[in-house]
Amino acid sequence: MKIFKFGGASVKDAESVKNVSMVLKSQGFAKCLLVISAMGKTTNELEKVVELYFKKENYQTEIETIKQKHIEISKGLFPENHPVFAEINLFFDDIDSFLRRNKSPNYNFVYDQVVSCGEMISTKIVSEYLNEIQFTNQWLDARDYVKTDNSYREGVVDWTKTEEFISHLSSETCYVTQGFIGSDDNNFTVTLGREGSDYSAAIFAYCLNAEAMTIWKDVPGVMTGDPRKFKDVSLLSNISYEEAIEMAYYGASVIHPKTLQPLQQKNIPFYVKSFVDPVKEGTKVGFSEKNQNEESYILKEGQTLLKISTRDFSFIAEDHMSLIFGYLSKNKIKVSLMQNSAISLALCLEDKFGNINELNDELQKVFKTEVIKNVSLFTVRNAKIDNIDKFYHQKNVLLEQISKNTLQMVTQ
């Protein structure tokens, strides 16, 4: 069984969906499971619906706009009387119906029920199109297979239940299913974190003992830096799981951070390839004598620098650290970089849920704090330490850390 994951950019319009079929033709459409994201920027658009709903503003117009986009895409793929159009209408009717009936004030719960519909609609369209052109497949609702707790927007996978359900799938059938979503014990939808479709593909790969997993991107593979942010970057054709995990953790957007560990546990080769040129080799992640350790650059923007010190100039001790990290966990804020001295602690933080002000209010009851928002974390992996001066040029460095082969700096 092979697992193929296609992101939003690869199914953004009718021509892109047709290109997916060409990619599959080049790879051989047999014994595979496709994990597909929402089309184009649909997730962002559905997030806007949720925002408007909680502001008590007109969200119905936004729903209608999103629906019409999907109908237009489908007109480029199907005859006008095809059943898929009724399916699309039904999905959007369900969103509207849910929001009209909903009594829950829990933003994250409502978010998951609404935003997940992007994946449901896109996979239905792609599955129907592939069947239409004789790429026979079965559409699956991922929520019947990926089981989680009820941590809405950041679901924790119940691996025992998930593996039990997924293991019943036939290795002789081709499937199309959703990324990014699962369900809790009450069968409410739970998303796995933003950009979580790669992780979904890894979950299916792990549970099916897949031969390989490939994610299809609009770049040639894993590069030594994002070509939109850095000049003179090159393709990494072979890297280890460990190197890929480090790069993902530090913010390399081409790989979701949670994707690699399930694959590494079962030594499942992982490929990052281009849907623009699918015959090119791309990047292979796994065990290999060819693995590279090239100097690589990662820029993680939209971070927050939090400086904490004790009010009485006493040491930042273990009980202080325990209290601070308890607050971080409570507010679902992740640490990208930390540095401590005797009387202070500096944290570069990723605040996905906008809780930094609440965290700061709690900390100020005990500590002195300083918050600097909208900073960037710049990381150089496999840095040539004897030639790092060039990285400081024209940068306002607020915090830096250098280890054996990694340079990191927080800049403003």
* Mean pLDDT calculated for residue range 244-271: 90
pLDDT at 249: 86
Neighbour count for residue 231 (Cβ, 10 Å):
7
In terms of C-beta density within 10 A (0-12 exposed, 13-18 middle, 19 or more buried), how is residue 256 classed? buried
And the tokens for 26?
């080049």
Confidence of residue 145 (pLDDT cuts 50, 70, 90): very high
Confidence of residue 342 (pLDDT cuts 50, 70, 90): confident
Is the model more confident about 317 or about 187? 187
And the tokens for 23?
């990619």
And the tokens for 65?
């706009």
User: Which DSSP letter does residue 133 get?
Assistant: T
pLDDT at 356 over 90: yes
pLDDT at 37 over 90: yes
pLDDT at 341: 87
User: What is the secondary structure of 309-377 as a DSSP string?
Assistant: EETTS----HHHHHHHHHHHHHTT-EEEEEEE-SSEEEEEEE-TTS-HHHHHHHHTTTEEEEEEEEEEE
pLDDT at 409: 96
Q: Which residues pair with 164 in a beta bridge?
A: none
pLDDT, tens digit, for every residue of 148-178? 999 999 999 999 999 999 999 999 999 999 9
- Name which CATH class applies to 296-411: alpha beta
Is the model more confident about 236 or about 251? 236
Decide: 240 and 287 in contact? Cβ < 8 Å: yes
Distances in Å between the Cα of 43 and the Cα atoms of 39, 111, 182, 183 are 8, 10, 16, 18
pLDDT, tens digit, for every residue of 93-116? 999 999 999 999 999 999 999 999
User: Per-domain residue ranges for the chain?
Assistant: 2-217, 296-411
In terms of C-beta density within 10 A (0-12 exposed, 13-18 middle, 19 or more buried), how is residue 149 classed? middle
**For domain 2-217, which architecture applies?**
3-Layer(aba) Sandwich (3.40)
Judged by average pLDDT, the poorest of 45-54, 281-290, 294-303, 357-366 is 281-290
* Mean pLDDT calculated for residue range 54-62: 97
pLDDT at 197 over 90: yes
Q: What is the spatial distance between Cα 11 and Cα 31, in angstroms, rounded to a whole number?
A: 21
In terms of C-beta density within 10 A (0-12 exposed, 13-18 middle, 19 or more buried), how is residue 132 classed? middle
